[in-house]
Amino acid sequence: MDVEVSSRRLIAIGCVLAGVGVAAGAFGAHMLKTILEPSALAAYDTGTRYQMYHAFGMILAGIAVRAFNDSRLATAGWFFAAGMVMFCGSLYGITLAGLKWLGPITPLGGLTFIIGWGLFGWRIVKGGKREGCGSS
């Protein structure tokens, strides 16, 4: 995929997911505070925090794609997106809908986040060259 298109998609989707994360956090703080048990509210809060962290990670990956002229960096951003679906989504499903069967998916989402960060670091260290800066 083209570097510019890849960069723009990651940044745009990361911004949408960050906005959704803010809305989810506000919903938790204002609407769920009196409804959920403290442990469930804490799990929900963990989901919103990790959503924000990894939405910013997607944005950072999108910026890095362009800065390093390396569309392979986008893979990390897509791992962050998949992790948000699995990790945050499973926490939301467990706390809001009582879908306890989603519990085993949560650590898989966490592993997906870890893989994304590992790939991101690896691509930065071993990646292609930045235009005008020589080889890496």
State residue 58's pLDDT score.
98
Segment 76-90 mean pLDDT: 98
Is the confidence at residue 136, as pLDDT, over 80? Answer: no
Share the mean pLDDT of the chain.
93
What CA–CA distances, in Å, run from 36 to 21, 30, 112?
A: 18, 11, 28
Is the confidence at residue 133, as pLDDT, over 60? Answer: no
Segment 98-119 mean pLDDT: 98
Confidence label for 129 from pLDDT (cuts 50, 70 and 90): low
Question: How would you label 23-44 residue by residue, b for 16+ Cβ within 10 Å and e otherwise?
Answer: ebbeebeeebeeebeeebbebb
Question: Could you tell me the residue ranges of all domains in the chain?
Answer: 3-126
Q: Nearest 5°: phi and psi at 135?
A: -95, 165
State residue 128's pLDDT score.
61
Could you report the per-residue pLDDT of 38-54, keeping only the tens digit for each?
999 999 999 999 999 99
Q: Whole-model pTM above 0.85?
A: yes
Q: Nearest 5°: phi and psi at 133?
A: -115, 10
